[in-house]
Amino acid sequence: MLLLFNTLAGGALLLSVFYIDRLGYAAAFTIPTGLLLVYIVLGCLSRDYPLLERALILTAIAFTSTLGCVVMTRIYVRRFEDDIIAHSSPYPGGVVNVDFESETGKHLTTLYAAQTISVTATLAVIGMLILLTHRRRLMGPRPD
């Protein structure tokens, strides 16, 4: 189940290629991270004898990359929210309504979705790290 979850999280991160214009530099983290997650599951762990060492190293790299995704998307969300508030409210603390079907609403929704997917992928990778560490300890070194 965890392998499926990581594959789906990687696929969701890969879908950010369609919104690269809205994600900006955050897409530089999301697209390679999605490829890495899919490769870990389909390339390293879906074999007769899984490549646990390689998968563990790549999962650690994917963990740092997903943290980068979370940080970058959060920066972009916060910056865009501040920009909306600065251009919409005549006084501080006012309520700002953003129409969902406006270009601003679409941009904000895309950023929120990217942030949620990044956090979900980070949780999936943490679970994968725990699983791979435990399995590596149980199975021992790979026989040559």
Does residue 144 belong to any structural domain of this protein?
Answer: no
Tokens of 127: 């679970």
Does residue 113 belong to any structural domain of this protein?
Answer: yes
pLDDT one-digit tens code per residue, 100-121 = 788 888 888 889 999 999 999 9
Give the count of beta carbons closer than 10 Å to the beta carbon of residue 97. 6
- Is the pTM higher than 0.85? no
Q: How many domains does the chain fold into? A: 1
Res 142: pLDDT:
63
CB 39 within 8 A of CB 62: no
Tokens of 95: 């309520």
Task: State the residue range of the domain holding 127.
Answer: 2-139
pLDDT one-digit tens code per residue, 15-44 = 888 888 888 888 888 999 999 999 999 998
d(CA 86, CA 77): 14
